[in-house]
Amino acid sequence: MYLVLEFNYPVVHIDLEKIKHNIGLISKKCRNSGMEPVAVLKGTNGSSEVARVFVDAGISTIADARIGNLKAYEHIAAKKMLVRLPMLSEAADVVRYSDVSLNSEITVIQAIANEARRMNKQHEVILMIEAGDLREGIYDQEELFSIIKKITNLEGVNLTGLGTNLNCFGSIKPTNENLGRLVELKQEINNKLGIDIDLISGGSTGSLALIDNGEMPEGINQLRIGTAFFNGFVEVSLPRLPDTYMDTFILKAEIIEIKEKPSKPFGTTGVDSFRNKTEFPDKGIRKRAICAIGKQDTEPRFMYPVNEKVELIGSSSDHLVLDITACGENFAVGDTVSFILDYVAIMRVMTSGHVRKLYI
C-alpha cells in the first residue's frame, strides 16, 4: 500500500491501562443501576488489542458496527454484537461472526434465520424501536407486533430483546420518557402476545446521564456504550465523568515547516480546498508550524493540543497549521506536537492507514 514500508509519524499512542481504568469505573456504574454494559468498539477499527482490554476489564459483550471488525475479534472470548442493522447481503457473515444483532427489517431477519439454520446455529435478535432520534428502528406498533409474530415462527433466530438508540442522528437526548417507552412496550407485548422479552437495551453514551440524575427507567437492563469508555465524555452540556481519563489516545505529528508569517491570508479571497470561507483575524506576524497530518487522517476539530498554548488554526487534507508563538516551547522542524484525541478524531485516526498505532 505504501512506497515507504516503515514510518514513525504520525503515530497514535493508545494507553490501554487508562482505557481499562475507564471501563472498570463505567461498568460498575452501569451494573450498580441494574444494567449490563455492552462495549461498542466501532471507533477503534477492529483493534483486537483494544477489544482484549475490554474483556480483561470484565466486559462480556463486545459490539461493533462493521462485520469485518467483529471478524477481527473472532478469537476473543466474548459475546459479539452487531450494532448497525445488517445488510441483507451480509446475512451469512452476520451469523458467522456475531451472536446477536440489532434489527428492524423482517426480510433481513428471515435471511439471517436461513443462514443460521444452514450453519446449525442460533442467532439472537434485538428489535430496534424508533424513539425519536430518527435513525434506525420500528416506528409503527402494528408493524412491530407483526414482525414479532413472524420471528417467533422462525427457526434459527431467537427474539431476546428490544432496543433503541438515541443521541446519534436527530440530537434527541435519552430521557425517562423515551427510554421508558421501551419498558412499556415489553409489557404490552407480554399482554397481547404472551411473549416475555428478556433484554431492554438502551444506548448510547448519553444515556449515562440518566443514571446520575436518577431518571433511568426501571427495566432497562442493558446499555450499549462506546465513547464514554474511551474518554469519559457523556454529553457536551455535562462535565466529564469524574475520575476518568481523557488522554487515552495521544496523536503525535511531525513538524515540517516553521515560519514567521502574517496571521491573515493576503491576496484575493476565494474559498479553501473544502469550499469553506474562513475569516482569519489579523494578529500581525506570528510563528506558525505545519504538521504532516490533515483531514484525510483525522478530524482536527476533535483534537486538543497537549500544550494548551499551541493554537490549532486550521487544516487541509494533509497539513495541519498551528500558531506556536505563545506556546513557550522551542520547536524545530522534525519535532513532534502532541494532541489529545476526542471520539471523532480517534475513529478517523484508527481507520487511517497513514497513522502508526502504538499500544502502551
* Residues noted as catalytic: 42
b/e burial code for range 127-163 (CB count within 10 A of at least 16 → b): bbbbbbbebbbbeeeeebbebbeebeebebbbbbbbb
CB of 137 or CB of 300, closer to ligand PLP: 137
Among all residues, whose Cβ is closest to ligand PLP?
Answer: 226
Distance of closest approach, residue 201 Cβ to ligand PLP, in angstroms: 8
Ordered DSSP codes for 297-357:
T--GGGEEESSTTSEEEEE-SS-EEEE-TTS-----TT-EEEEEEPHHHHHHHHH-TTSEE
Neighbours of 3 (CB within 10 A): 4
- Which residue, 50 or 310, is less far from ligand PLP as judged by CB? 50
Least distance CB 25 / ligand PLP (angstroms): 15
Q: Is 166 helix (H, G, I), strand (E, B) or coil?
A: coil
Query: Of 133 and 323, which has the nearer Cβ to ligand PLP?
Result: 133
| Whether 341 contacts 251, CB under 8 Å | yes
Contacts to ligand PLP by CB under 6 A: 40, 42, 65, 83, 102, 165, 203-205, 224-227
CB atoms within 10 A of CB 88: 13
* Conformational region of residue 330, where left means phi above 0, alpha means psi within -120 to 50, and beta covers everything else: beta
Taking the complex as a whole, the smallest distance from the CB of residue 208 to ligand PLP amounts, in Å, to: 8
Render 37-95 in DSSP notation, one character per residue.
EEEE-GGGTT-HHHHHHHHHTT--EEEES-HHHHHHTTTSSSEEEE-SPPPGGGHHHHH
Q: How far is the CB of 304 from ligand PLP (least distance, A)?
A: 18
Residue 167's Cβ-count burial label (10 Å; 0-12, 13-18, 19+) is: buried
Minimum gap (Å) between residue 161 Cβ and ligand PLP: 12
Beta carbon of residue 167, minimum distance to ligand PLP (angstroms, whole number): 6
The residue among 298 and 325 lying less far from ligand PLP, judged by its C-beta, is 298
By beta-carbon proximity to ligand PLP, the closer residue of 42 and 319 is 42
10 vs 226, beta carbon nearer ligand PLP: 226
In the complex, what is the shortest distance from the CB of residue 252 to ligand PLP, in angstroms, rounded to a whole number? 24
Distance CA 98, CA 79 (A): 8
> Could you give the CA distance from residue 192 to residue 324 in angstroms, rounded to a whole number?
66
C-beta of residue 167 within 8 angstroms of C-beta of residue 133: yes
Nearer to ligand PLP, 161 or 203 (CB): 203
Q: What is the dihedral of CA 134, 80, 103, 40, to 10 degrees?
A: 0
